[in-house]
Amino acid sequence: MTSETFTALNGVYHGYRPAEPGAPTIVFANSLGTDLRVWDRVVALLPAGWGILRQDKRGHGLSAIGDTLTIETMADDVEMLLDHYGIDGFVGVGLSVGGLIMQRLAVRRPEGMSKLVLSDTAAKIGSPEIWDPRIATVLDKGIAAIGDAILERWFAAPYRDTEDFAMWQAMLERTPAKGYAQVCAAIRDADYREDLAAITQPTLVIAGSEDASTPPELVKSTAEAISGGRFEEIADAGHLPCVEQPVIFADLLKGHVAA
């Protein structure tokens, strides 16, 4: 088994573990305000021979901050890594804005992406009336000014009383304001509802039952718009079920890959 190694390529910090012969490669894309560590608990539960590729979006974690960002340019970064490592076939897993990125890659690389997992996401998330005030506040006062409200959406109430909660609060509040605002604007401007019919991969769509950012009803409607889409709701989880319920999330992922 080869260990996952971490490095940067063209300003994009990422982790990569090559797959053993015959094993799948899972390509992860994470959510707004988190870095690649959001997948740690799920990765630890996957077979050791599976390939892993995960990265910090620009302006998040250890990746560089660019001048502007769109979902398309974030998808470009993932494709850059796929090409760099010569990954021809993969399973795409996207959380929140990462789900928007994976929706683009599903359409761009219909033969390269064999299966798709979308978690707590939709083809259109929010509106300018939601995103513009958030962007203005973050750039003026910093992420901590809205941190409590965001974290209430991220996690179900019981999890917010655990010791682990402080780590996620720190991860969110240490995200550069410029990078966070750029990704907010990218989400605001993205609308892929008309493209859902073009997704041909078998698609598992997951929602946390307590998610207030992308409620289960919205996530379910996304699954229903994808041919071959299947919806699963994870109980006692908010916007980040991969963190709150990693065993259930990993089992769903493994089952989808095996199906």
Tens-place pLDDT, residues 40-70: 999 999 999 999 999 999 999 999 998 889 9
pLDDT on residue 140? 98
Sheet holding 90-95, edge to edge: 5-9, 12-17, 51-55, 25-29, 90-95, 113-119, 203-208, 229-234
Backbone angles phi, psi at 62, to 5 degrees: -105, 10
Q: Which two tokens stand for residue 168?
A: 């996620």
Q: Looking up tokens 């973050």, which residue turns up?
A: 138
| Whole-number pLDDT of residue 1 | 64
Whole-model pTM: value is 0.97
**Predicted local distance difference test score (pLDDT) of residue 213:** 96
Residue 36 backbone zone (phi > 0: left; psi -120 to 50: alpha; other: beta): alpha
pLDDT of residue 66: 86
What does each of the 259 residues of the chain score in pLDDT, given as a tens digit?
A: 689 999 999 999 999 999 999 999 999 999 999 999 999 999 999 999 999 999 999 999 999 998 889 999 999 999 999 999 999 999 999 999 999 999 999 999 999 999 999 999 999 999 999 999 999 999 999 999 999 999 999 999 999 999 999 999 999 999 999 999 999 999 999 999 999 999 999 999 999 999 999 999 999 999 999 999 999 999 999 999 999 999 999 999 999 999 9
Closest CA to 240 of 160, 176, 179, 163: 160
Write the CB contacts of 170 (distance below 8 Å, at least 6 apart in sequence). none
Per-residue HEC secondary structure of the chain comes to: CCCCEEEEECCEEEEEECCCCCCCEEEEECCCCCCHHHHHHHHCCCCCCCEEEEECCCCCCCCCCCCCCCHHHHHHHHHHHHHHHCCCCEEEEEECHHHHHHHHHHHHCCCCEEEEEEECCCCCCCCHHHHHHHHHHHHHHCCHHHHHHHHHHHCCHHHHHCCCHHHHHHHHHCCCHHHHHHHHHHHHHCCCHHHHHHCCCCEEEEEECCCCCCCHHHHHHHHHCCCCEEEEEECCCCCCHHHHCHHHHHHHHHHHHHC
Residue 59 — left, alpha, or beta (φ > 0 → left; ψ -120 to 50 → alpha)? left
CA separation for the pair 21, 216 (Å, rounded): 37
| 5-258, CATH topology level | Rossmann fold (3.40.50)
In whole angstroms, give the CA distance from residue 184 to residue 97.
9
pLDDT at 2: 82
Provide the pLDDT for residue 109.
Answer: 97
Phi, psi (rounded to 5 degrees) for 206: -115, 140
Query: What local confidence, expressed as pLDDT, does residue 83 receive?
Result: 98
For residue 2 the two structure tokens come to: 């080869």
